[in-house]
Chains A and B, each alone.
Chain A
Amino acid sequence: MKEELEKRIVKGPDGIEFEVEPLRDYYCEAAPTVMPQAYSKIIEGFFNWARAESLWILGFGTGCGAIEMRPLMTPRFDAYRYGVQWRPTPRQSNLFIISGYLSVKTLKRAIRSYEQMQNPKYVIGLGSCTINGGMYWDSYNTIKCLDDYLPVDLYIAGCMPRPEALLAGFEELKKLIRAGKAEGANQYAENFEWYKANQKKVILDWDMPDYNW
């Protein structure tokens, strides 16, 4: 446990001492819940269409794949025309592209960012490293199997896949979303214990609440 997260005795302005427990006092402890769909199928379908046509990607690049995403904004690929855009804050994003190998240290940040996104949210694993570790298969410090830690909707294989592959991936993802099959967020909430156990197995200094709201 990091020093700043340890329980501490604090003296108030009135001279009375009391205990502050950062994890309890500074973080919401609630677990994620499965979010129901809209009342009617039609509305949910309509929403899913809108979600599919408006993919907001979290601007978080984890490995070499980060460099493959930049061309998507350029005239050559222009992902914007597909309703794709990048948002700098996880609160406003609903697509998280894990763009390459994830070291344990980065995994922690990725989990935190993923949890700060709002339901429904989607994860794409980009490149071999996210699938089976790729060239880092024997590394002491990278995970080999992303879907153990985050609910991945789609993998794009390759080392590295080109931007065109990403565009194709978006189209595949859109299909999944429109079909109502991209329910990773709810899956994550349902299997929360399992995901957490996996995450905590590799992240040895777990210094955050179980769910980062």
Chain B
Amino acid sequence: MEFEWIKIPYSLLTLFIVVNYGLLMTAFIAKIAARVGRRHGIPIYQNYIDLIKNYGLRSSITHGVMFYLGPVFRLSGGVGLLLFVPSIYGSEMFSNLSFAGDLILALYFIFFGTLGMALGAAESGSPHSAIGITRGLSQVTAAELPMALAVFSVALQYETLSITEIVAAQQGSVLNWTLFTNPLAVVAAMMAFLGSMMRPPFDVVLAPQEIPIGPPTEYHSSYLALMQTNRVIFPVAKVVIYTNLFFGGATNWPIFFLKVFLIYMVSAFVGVAFPRFRVEQSIRWFLIWAMPLGILAILLV
């Protein structure tokens, strides 16, 4: 558990794999969602084009220093989160930079990007950004609660905060997964997961056309490109944590891809089938449905 220089290229490799996988997977899921609506949907490579286009825009404006730094915070949060968590169990190569801290670090680092992004968006002075942030923060804090409870339940279950050890404890059989040993925690966590994916019914934060698109209203060009990059890294990083904590981790890349995809699909499934909650509705939903499960999970461990 110490730093070696070789970890840097290894981490970059992880990053590369995850970025590409994320770009393709999100496009693929968008395509699936389109097919649900009997549309063709975007080309599978559309995300790359959008990304290039946004990097390739010629002009941009800035509202100030924090506005400029916001996307940097955002992406640092995503990349950091990805790298603080081991991607592939049992692989020294893809344990990334997890020597720096344990599960708690990952959990709290989630907020790093959120905070920086919120600061940046707020400096734009657009009330729509601020409203979006309000909604986002309100909702995410409520969603974070069952998540924290579930995670803690798992930590208590395995009596460790080290992600690697938690994964290790789930090896051997599918029945060793937390999904089966502690189903309440997993259900609570998955409910929280829905809340943090910005998909219906929890997408009132962005609420396109209403406020116009929430926090990123003022972001464009390369700022937006950075945020799009984060948009593919961050959910994957989050799903990696879920995989590790609840679904037995991944011992190689194909399993990794599969599990990440399937977990991600859960929110897509729910998303295409449900309308949007207002913020206070979603807060209540998390507190009434998800939190008791989390509490039970902790009490019963």
- A80 touches which of B34, B58, B59 (Cβ 8 Å): B34
Q: Mark A77-91, 1 if CB is under 8 A from B, else 0.
A: 010110101011101
Within 8 A of B (CB), among A41-58: 46-47, 50-51, 53-54
Q: Mark A123-152, 1 if CB is under 8 A from B, else 0.
A: 000000000000000000000000000000
CB contacts (< 8 Å) of A78 on chain B: these are 34, 39-41
Residue B53 interfacial (CB < 8 Å): yes
- Residues A83 and B56 in contact, CB atoms below 8 Å apart: no
- Residues A54 and B37 in contact, CB atoms below 8 Å apart: no
- Residues A51 and B56 in contact, CB atoms below 8 Å apart: yes
Residue B218 interfacial (CB < 8 Å): yes
- Residues A94 and B57 in contact, CB atoms below 8 Å apart: yes
Q: Mark A13-45, 1 if CB is under 8 A from B, else 0.
A: 000000000000000100000011110000000
User: Whole-angstrom distance between the alpha carbons of A83 and B54 in the complex?
Assistant: 13
User: Whole-angstrom distance between the alpha carbons of A38 and B55 in the complex?
Assistant: 12
Residue A59 interfacial (CB < 8 Å): yes
Main secondary structure of the interface of B (DSSP, over half): loop
CB contacts (< 8 Å) of B57 on chain A: these are 94, 118-120
CB contacts (< 8 Å) of A12 on chain B: these are none
User: Beyond A51-B53, A51-B56, is A75–B212 a contact (Cβ under 8 Å)?
Assistant: no
- Residues B46 and A213 in contact, CB atoms below 8 Å apart: no
Within 8 A of A (CB), among B5-44: 34, 37-43
User: Whole-angstrom distance between the alpha carbons of A37 and B102 in the complex?
Assistant: 47
Residue A191 interfacial (CB < 8 Å): no
User: Whole-angstrom distance between the alpha carbons of A50 and B38 in the complex?
Assistant: 26
User: Whole-angstrom distance between the alpha carbons of A53 and B217 in the complex?
Assistant: 22
- Residues A83 and B49 in contact, CB atoms below 8 Å apart: yes
- Residues A54 and B41 in contact, CB atoms below 8 Å apart: no
For chain A, the bracket of interface size reads: 20 to 34
CB contacts (< 8 Å) of A83 on chain B: these are 42-43, 46, 49-50
- Minimum C-beta distance from A191 to chain B (A): 17
Residue B61 interfacial (CB < 8 Å): yes
| A28, closest chain B residue (CB) | B61
| A53, closest chain B residue (CB) | B49
- Residues A89 and B56 in contact, CB atoms below 8 Å apart: no
- Minimum C-beta distance from A2 to chain B (A): 19
Residue A92 interfacial (CB < 8 Å): yes
| B224, closest chain A residue (CB) | A92
User: Beyond A83-B43, A92-B213, is A47–B56 a contact (Cβ under 8 Å)?
Assistant: yes
- Residues B42 and A50 in contact, CB atoms below 8 Å apart: no
User: Beyond A119-B57, A119-B58, is A80–B219 a contact (Cβ under 8 Å)?
Assistant: no
- Minimum C-beta distance from B120 to chain A (A): 14
A-B contact pairs, 21 of them (CB 8 A): A46-B52, A47-B56, A51-B56, A54-B52, A75-B39, A80-B39, A81-B39, A81-B40, A83-B43, A83-B46, A83-B49, A83-B50, A89-B217, A91-B219, A91-B220, A92-B216, A118-B58, A119-B57, A120-B57, A120-B58, A185-B59
List the 9 closest pairs (A to B, CB-CB), nearest first. A47-B56, A88-B212, A35-B58, A91-B220, A119-B59, A50-B52, A54-B53, A81-B40, A75-B38
